[in-house]
Structure 1
Amino acid sequence: MVVASLSTTVTSMDSRFTSVDCQTSAAPSPAPSPPPSASSSSNSTFWSNVVALLDALPSAASPTGFASLSRGNGTDRAFLCGICRGDSTRGDCARTSETPRRGILSRCNSSSRRAAIWYDDDSTVTYPAAMFCFISYADTNASTAYEQRYRSEMYNMGDARDKGAFENTYYTLMMRLAARIVNGSGGATAPSNLPVAPMFATGEAVFDPAVPNGTIYGLVQCMMDRTAEE
């Protein structure tokens, strides 16, 4: 059993839908070395490993839209993963991962033993929709449980006329998309010139045909190194 407690979480968001979560203390397995003092924070071996991984991420992630990297040894070892929206082109993935890479470097520091950033470039192109990228680093490779701690929630304050129909349609749609990811059938409707990554699916469902915006559009994506059970 792993018991973890977060002492400080700093979250910020800018106009381009960038949300950063820098976590300064946790109890992963194996436990990290104590956070460095302020005087040595810029020279932290762990942080140097994080910076090197972030520098390597855009080129590593662009071929498949996903990368899982590590660097260092012992308690200074850093683990990093990054994923682009599954219907992004290679160029879009490399470009879209560059901005959040710089963002996490500017907003977190060596006292953050783990962090995550979501990035949406607020694109206005018709398809694909706004490019999206997620990057996280940590001092443990046991990432599945810890990624559940990173959340970026945005709310639409508008009300659906038929809330029951909306909720039922939403859950049915998202369960269907999740099932497509698990069984490998995908389901993303991308133009033929765009590769669609595994463990990625999109779809839509009508919850109220009587209103102009009565359609729900869904997207589900998993890290590409996950098993079907995960």
Structure 2
Amino acid sequence: MAPACALTTVAILAALLFFVLLLLSRTMELRFTTSYAMVDCAPPPAPDDGAAAFRGTLLPLLAALPAAAAPTGFASLKSDGGGAFARGLCLGDPAPRDCLACLAAAAKKLTGCGASRRAGVWRSEGCFMAYADSNTSSAHEDGFRDVVSFGEEVYPAVISVDDGTLPSIPNCFDTRALVALARSLSGRGAGNSSGARVVTDAAALSSNATGKTAVTLRAQCARDRAAAAECARCLGDSARGVRACGWVLDGEHERVADVVGYHCFLRIETSVPPRPVAKYVKQPVVLALCAAMLLVLVVTAVIACVRKKRGTGNVAAVAAASGQQTNAAAN
């Protein structure tokens, strides 16, 4: 029985140690990722006698566009009579099958825009599709910007003690620095198939960033409207549309913001390095709590083993006494 009790105690201690390590590491952090499909259906002209004819030429374009764009990540199609135009863009450099799947889902969204003559859809998987009745930009397209904040909200599973002091949370980007960095992406390949990506330290974009927060900017401009100056202007306008504050640049939190538009896409995201276990083991409160839990489990296991051993001994004694009485009766 002693070996069994020892093995039980060791198993409990190993399980507790594993749990503590998970608790103190990033494995136990809770992450919530939000997906989206942002659809913009421009108001249809009224009256529109040619709405049915336009839709009849548009639907075949939307059906053909995903397969046309998947191999290279971009395609622009027009109907035979030139009455309808459509283009699709996959962000970054995805596999053709992923690009195809994303654009096919986007095409289904656009079919719901009814009689609208211009519309666009952006999907968080990384693609954009739009259609129009002209190959030139409209004022609505030029001015359209929408910011989608989502991504990973990190809640560290770490015990802390409130010492009564108000936290000082570095929160804001320097908008001018952010705009300048976004504009610079136009010269780093934002018009290419793979788009542009740059990583910088948060301290380069904020006067009060702490910790080791990294900021990643990803950008891509539509290839048929990707002149460097136009791309830079679009990305700069997108960066201005992002809320400068609320980023919590303390090395403990992560944020993502997508700025979608008809001519360019900009993603800003913050990330933090994996949190070392030793950082929290040094905290006396956490260390004392872990030690207390270990002690309680060890004492509980020992008491259970002793009680079980005593119970087994009592059963054996009763059995021996019963055997002696039986033998005496037989004699």
With structure 2 as the length reference, what TM-score do the two structures score? Answer: 0.47
RMSD over equivalenced CA pairs, Å: 2.9
Deviations, residues 142-196 of structure 1 (Å, cap 9, x unaligned) = 037653243221247x997152x543542343132122137x8x7xxxxxxxxxx
Which residue type is aligned with residue 123 of structure 2?
Y
* Alignment equivalent of 2:189, drawn from 158, 181, 184: 181
1:218 and 2:217 correspond: yes
Equivalents in 2 of 1:169, 1:217: separation in Å? 14
Aligned to 2:199: 204
* Alignment equivalent of 1:161, drawn from 170, 187, 198: 170
* Alignment equivalent of 2:56, drawn from 31, 44, 48: 48
Deviations, residues 168-226 of structure 1 (Å, cap 9, x unaligned) = 542343132122137x8x7xxxxxxxxxx16x1011111236325x2211011111123
Residues 63, 160 of structure 1: alpha-carbon distance in 2 compared, 3 angstrom cutoff: farther
Equivalents in 2 of 1:168, 1:82: separation in Å? 31
Equivalents in 1 of 2:76, 2:53: separation in Å? 20
Residues 162, 19 of structure 1: alpha-carbon distance in 2 compared, 3 angstrom cutoff: closer
- Which one has a larger percent helix, Structure 1 or Structure 2? 2
Aligned to 1:193: none
- The answer as to whether partners of 2:71 and 2:96 remain within 8 angstroms in 1 is yes
Equivalents in 1 of 2:121, 2:221: separation in Å? 16
Listed as ranges, the gaps of 5+ residues in structure 1 are 1-14, 27-32, 121-130, 187-196
Q: How many pairs were matched up?
A: 175
* Alignment equivalent of 2:72, drawn from 64, 68, 71: 64
Which residue type is aligned with residue 218 of structure 1?
L
Deviations, residues 66-95 of structure 1 (Å, cap 9, x unaligned) = 011100426xx1011110012211111111
Aligned to 1:19: 38
Shift of 1:34: 4.5
Listed as ranges, the gaps of 5+ residues in structure 2 are 1-33, 154-167, 204-208, 231-331
Aligned to 1:80: 86
Which residue type is aligned with residue 207 of structure 1?
A
Shift of 1:35: 1.5
Equivalents in 1 of 2:169, 2:96: separation in Å? 37
1:108 and 2:127 correspond: no
Residues 86, 144 of structure 1: alpha-carbon distance in 2 compared, 3 angstrom cutoff: farther
Equivalents in 1 of 2:87, 2:137: separation in Å? 9
Equivalents in 2 of 1:93, 1:160: separation in Å? 39
Equivalents in 1 of 2:129, 2:169: separation in Å? 33
* Alignment equivalent of 2:48, drawn from 35, 60, 64: 35
Computing the radius of gyration from Cα coordinates, the structure with the larger value is 2
Which residue type is aligned with residue 211 of structure 1?
G
SS in 1 for 2:92: coil
- Which one has a larger percent strand, Structure 1 or Structure 2? 1
Aligned to 1:119: 123
Equivalents in 1 of 2:44, 2:74: separation in Å? 27
With structure 1 as the length reference, what TM-score do the two structures score? Answer: 0.66
- The answer as to whether partners of 2:185 and 2:197 remain within 8 angstroms in 1 is yes
Equivalents in 2 of 1:148, 1:36: separation in Å? 26
- Shifted more, 144-153 versus 201-210: the winner is 144-153
1:90 and 2:96 correspond: yes
- The answer as to whether partners of 1:166 and 1:207 remain within 8 angstroms in 2 is no
Residues 22, 166 of structure 1: alpha-carbon distance in 2 compared, 3 angstrom cutoff: same
